[in-house]
Structure 1
Amino acid sequence: MATRESNWAVKIRDQPMATEERSWALEIDDQTENTGNSAEKQQSPKPSIYRVPAYIRRLNCHAYKPQIVSFGPYHHGDPNVMPMEEHKDRALTHFLKRANKSLQDVRTAMAEVVQQLRGAYQSLDGKWAGDERFLHLMILDGCFMLEIIRVATKKPDDGGYEMDEPIFSDHGNLYTVPCIKRDMMMFENQLPLLVLYKLVFVEGRGDCVEYVNELVLTFWDKTLTVEGERRHLLDMLRLSRLGKQSSAATSRGQKNSPKVSIIRSASELREAGIRFRKSKSDSLLDIQFKHGVLSLPKLTVDDSTEYMFLNLMAFERLNIGTGNEVTSYVVFMDSIIDSAKDIKLLHHKRIIRNALGSDTEAAELFNRLAKDVVFVPNSNLSKVQNNVITYSQKKCRRHRANLCRTYFKSPWTTLSLMAAIVLLVLTVVQTIYAVLQFHLSA
C-alpha cells in the first residue's frame, strides 16, 4: 500500500502543470516564503466600519439603513437621504465662518490622514479610490456631524444659527435631530472620529481629542472620561452604555471556562426566592448577585432601543478584539424575559422603564434581539448566571419564597398570620395549664 501511494504521489507531481496554474502556485509560494508575520500583519487591513452581512441583516433589515441622513460612503446617494444633502453645505459654510478658515485649510489637514480614513472602511467601491471625491465626502459629512452634535449639546450656547433654520435651530433640535441621532447609531452609517478630531484641530484647539470625546459622550447623554482616540460614534455609544473603557481581554477565550446552564425567567426566579433590585448605576456591566438579590441596571425601552442594540452587537461581532459585553447583556436579559409578566415585574422594580406602552411588545423586542446569538460562556456574566441558577435550585429557598408570597404578601395577610400564631400559642398555653391543674389536684 505504501508503495502504491508513493508511486501515485510521484505520478501526480511529474504531470505537467498548466501555465496559469504554475504561475499562481509560484506566486503563492513566493508570498509564503517572503512574507513574515510582521509583514503579514501590516498588509492585513484594520477596518472599523463594515457593511453588515446578510446573515445579520435579515434579523431586521431596517435597523442598519439610515432613514434621513447618510454619513460616509456606504449610503451616500441613496434616494431616501438625498434631501438632507443641501443642509450639509450650510453646515460646512457655517463651520468655515466660525473657524475663520478656508476650505483649502481643512482639505490640507484632512489630506494628511486620507489613507487612514479610507482604511477605516471595509470594501469601498471603486468610485471612492480618488482622494478628491473621498476628501470632499469626509469634510462635508464631518462638518454636518460636528454641527449637529454641537446644536444638540448646546455647545456653543448661541449656536450661531437663525431662529427659522430648519435643522440647526431649537425647532430642528426638537423634531429632526432625534431622527438624525438614531441614524448615527447605525454601523454602516459611521464616520471615523478622526475626521472630527481634524476639524476641531483646524479650529485651533490643542485638546481636540479630549474635546471631541467629551462632546460626543454628552451627545449620548453620558459623563465619562475616555482616554485617547476612538473609532466612531457607535464605539463611543458602546462605551457610554458600558460606563467605562472595556478591555478586549475580558472577552478572550479562557481555558476550562465554566459551562453556563440556561437561566429561568424573572417570574420563575422570583418563585425560587430570588429578589430583584435596581443597580446603583445604569452601566450594562453593573449586574451582580449577592445574598439572593439580583441587581440589574436601569434601562429605558423605547423606539430606538432595538436599533441601538442590534448595531452595537453587530459592531462587537465584526470587530475582532472589541469585546462582547453588550451582546452578553442582551442575551442575559432575553433569558430572564420570556413574557409580559417578566417585563411587568422588572418595571415594578424600576429596572425597566417601558416607553413602548405594551409589556408584550417589550418582551418580544428582547426575544428578537437575541435571535441567533449565543451566550458567551467566559463572559463577565457567566459567574452571575451560574450563581443564580445554583441558588434557585435549592428547595428550601423555594419553600421559603412560597411562604413569604403566601403569608407576607400584604400587611393584612401578615396580621392574619400573626393573629393565628398568637391564638395557637394561647391555646397551647391554656392546654398546658389545664394539664398541670389536673395533675396538681389529683
Structure 2
Amino acid sequence: MLTSPPRLDPNETNWIVHVNENLKCMPADEQQCWKYPSIYKVPPFITDLNPKAYQPQVVSFGPYHYDDNHLRPMEEHKHRALLHFLKRSGKSLECVFKSLKEVARELKDSYDKLDLKWKDGTGGEFLELMIMDGCFMLEIMRIATLPKSKAENYGYAPNDPIFSFDRLECIVPYIRRDMLLLENQLPMLVLYQLDAIANDGKEDDVNKLILKFHFPLERKTSTGLDSCLHVLDVYRKGLLKVMEPKKVQHKGKNEETETIIRSATELNEAGIKFNTSKTDSLNGISNSLNDISFDRGVLKLPLFTVDDTTEFMFLNVMAFERLHIKPFNSEDGNEVTSYVIFMDKIINNEQDVALLHTQGIIQNNFGSDKAVADLFNSLCIDVAVPSNKNLNYVQQKISKHCKKRWNEWRANLNRTYFKNPWTILSLIAAFFLFALTIIQTVYTLLSYY
C-alpha cells in the first residue's frame, strides 16, 4: 500500500527554498568572500583563564578598547603628540588624512570584528583614530629610544607629563606592555604611511624602531621583516630573529619513537647536558627561540630572560598564533607556542628551573624558581600541541638517548665518582690498592708453586 509523503510545514518549505537559492548562488571560489584580518578579539575560551593578560592598562591603540574608562586620561596626550608630529614633519593634517583615506578599506579589513560605529559612514572617525594612535605610538618609540641628551631637546617641554625623560622612564614599561596586546594593535600600514609622510617618502625602518623599543638590551636585526602585520607580529619575529627553520634530515626510515620528554632534572640524570645555543658570531649566545638542538648528549637551548612581562607577552603571542589563519599545510607560524610547550615539558618544578639557571639558559628576573616553574606550567593549559618538525626531531633524539641504559649508568658513574677532585683521587687510590693486591696475590701464588 502506497503512502503519500508527509506534508511540509510552510516554514519548513520556506527554509528549504532559501537554502536551495543560496546553493545556486555559491561562488566558485569562496576564498574571495573572506577578508584577511590580522587583529583579533580574543575569544572567551582563551581569555577566561587569565582575563587581565589581554587588557590594556594605560593606553588604547585601535578601536577595540577605545574610550574604556580607565584609558581616557591618555587621550589628551595623544592629541599633543599629533600636534608635535605635524609640526616637526611640516605636513598638514589634510595631507595625512588623505594619505590614510586611500587605504581606509584595507585598514578596516585588518580587524576581525569592528563595531558599526567604525564600519559605516565615510570612515572619518576611524581614520581620526588611526592617525591619533599612530602618531602617539611613533612619538613614544622615537623619543624613548633616543639618548637622554637628545630626548630632552626633541620638541617637548622638560616637564611634559608624558614625554619628558623622567616621566618616560616611568610610563614606558606600561606602554610597552600595552603595545603587545593582541586586541590593542594598529595595522602596520598606518605606521608605514605616517613615517613616509614625516620623511618625505624616504624609507625609514619602522620595524627596526619597534625592535629597538621592545628589545632595548638586545641587538635585533630587522632583516626579513618587510611584510609584518602589526607591532605584535614584529615582536614575535624578533623573538625568532626571523631565522629560517632548521632543515631536519631524517636518516633511514621514519620510525615511530616515543617522544615523551622528561624534566630537565631527569634528563640530566640520564646523562644529558645542557648548554646555551650559539649564534653565528664568535662566542655569541643566541636568544632566538628557534635555536633548539640536540646532539651527542647535549641539549642546546636559547638564553631567555623571565620577568614580570613574560606571562602576558607569551599569552598574547600564542593567542595570535592560534587565531591567525595560515597557508594550507603550513607548519610555520607556531614557533613560539612550540617553544613554550617544549619548556613546559622540561620544567616541572623549581629544581628544573635552578638547573637551567645554573647552565645559563634561564635568567630569572621574576622571583623564586618555583614561581618561574608555575609560570611555564600555567601557559600551556588548554593549548593544543602544534606540529614543529625541528622540535619533533629533537624530542625523538632525546627519547632515543634516554632509552639506552648505558647513558644513564655512565651519568650515575660520573655523579658518584667524578663529581669533585676528592672523589676522583679516592677512586684512583682504590684502583691502585686493588692493583697492588692483585700483584701481591700473583706473587704469592707464584712463590707457592
Which residue is equivalent to 2:357?
A: 347
- Partner Cα distance (1:121, 1:64) in 2: 16
Over residues 272-324 of structure 1, what are the superposed CA-to-partner deviations in whole Å (9 max), with x where a residue is unaligned?
A: 11111111111101000000000011110100000110001000000021611
Per-residue deviation, 1:223 = 2.4
Specify the alignment match of 1:142 in structure 2: 134
SS in 2 for 1:224: coil
Contact 2:334 2:388 in 1 (8 A): no
AA aligned to 1:177 is V
> Bigger shift: 361-370 or 126-135?
126-135
What's the offset of the Cα at 1:432?
Answer: 2.3
> In the TM superposition, what is the alpha-carbon distance from 1:167 to its structure 2 partner?
1.8
Kindly indicate whether residue 85 of structure 2 is the aligned counterpart of residue 95 of structure 1.
yes
Q: Establish whether residue 314 from structure 1 lines up as the match of residue 305 from structure 2.
A: no
Write out aligned runs for 1:22-421 (5 A).
24-32=18-26, 35-37=27-29, 40-129=30-119, 130=121, 131-154=123-146, 158-208=153-203, 211-221=205-215, 222-244=220-242, 261-280=259-278, 281-321=286-326, 323-421=333-431
Q: Distance in 1 between matches of 2:257 and 2:33?
A: 38
Q: Flag the 1:128–1:14 CA change in 2: closer, same or farther, 3 A.
A: closer
Contact 1:325 1:379 in 2 (8 A): no
How many angstroms does 1:215 deviate by? 1.3
Please say if residues 298 and 353 of structure 1, whose CA atoms lie closer than 8 Å, have aligned partners that are also in contact: yes
Give the Cα separation in 2 of the matches to 1:319 and 1:108. 30
Contact 1:332 1:375 in 2 (8 A): no
Distance 1:431 1:273, change over 3 A: same
> Could you tell me the TM-score, scaled by structure 1's length?
0.90
Deviation at 1:152, TM superposition (A): 2.1
Describe the superposition over 1:360-381 as per-residue Cα deviations: whole angstroms up to 9, x where unpaired: 0000000000111233345420
CA distance in 1, matches of 2:11, 2:116: 35
CA contact (8 A) 2:186 2:230 kept: yes
Structural RMSD (CA) = 2.4
Kindly tell me the number of residue pairs found equivalent between the two proteins: 422
Question: Cα–Cα, structure 1 residues 218 and 378, in superposed 2: closer, same or farther, change >3 Å?
Answer: closer
- Partner amino acid, structure 1, of 2:337: T
Q: Deviations over 1:315-362 (max 9, x none)?
A: 000002161111111000000000000000000001001111200000
Distance 1:114 1:245, change over 3 A: farther
Aligned with 1:295: secondary structure?
Answer: strand
Can you list the C-alpha shifts for 1:82-133, whole angstroms capped at 9, x where unaligned? 1111110111011001100111110000101111000000110111123010
TM superposition score normalised by structure 2: 0.88
Distance 2:206 2:134 in 1: 12
What displacement does 1:205 show? 4.5
Worse overlay, 289-298 or 403-412: 403-412
What one-letter code is carried by the residue in structure 2 that aligns with 1:244?
A: V
Report the residue type matching 2:351 in the other structure.
K
Stretch deviating more after TM superposition (138-147 or 401-410): 401-410
Q: 1:285 to 1:16 in 2, by over 3 A?
A: same
SS at match of 2:25: helix
Distance 1:142 1:183, change over 3 A: same
Going from structure 1 to structure 2, the CA distance change for 1:216 and 1:377 (only over 3 Å counts) comes to closer
Q: What are structure 1's unaligned runs of at least 5 residues?
A: 251-255
The answer to whether the 8 Å contact 2:257/2:399 transfers is no
Aligned to 1:429: 439
* Counterparts in 2 of 1:328 and 1:260: CA distance versus 1, 3 Å: farther
CA distance in 2, matches of 1:65, 1:171: 26
Structure 1 residue 168, shift from structure 2 partner: 1.7
Partner amino acid, structure 2, of 1:273:
G
- Identical-residue share of aligned pairs (%): 50
For the residue of structure 1 that corresponds to 2:205, the secondary structure is: helix
Cα offset, 1:18, TM superposition:
5.8
Equivalent residues of 1:260, 1:382 under 8 A apart: no
Contact 2:207–2:222 at 8 Å: present in 1 too?
no
- 437 and 257 in structure 1: CA distance in 2 versus 1, 3 angstrom threshold: closer
In structure 2, do the counterparts of structure 1 residues 67 and 147 end up closer, same or farther at CA, with 3 Å as the change threshold?
A: same
Output the CA distance in 2 between the equivalents of 1:403 and 1:199: 64
1:176 is paired with a residue of what secondary structure?
A: helix
**In structure 1, C-alpha distance between the alignment counterparts of 2:243 and 2:34, rounded to whole Å:** 26
What is residue 253 of structure 1 aligned with on the other side? Answer: none
Contact 2:188 2:228 (8 Å CA) reproduced: yes
More helix by share: 1
The code of the aligned residue for 2:124 comes to E
The range that moved more, 211-220 or 22-31, is: 22-31
Give the Cα–Cα distance (whole angstroms) in 2 for the partners of residues 18 and 326 of structure 1.
49
Q: Aligned with 1:289: secondary structure?
A: strand
Instruction: Give deviations 1:225-263, integer Å, cap 9, x for gaps.
Output: 12423100110111000111668x99xxxxx99676321
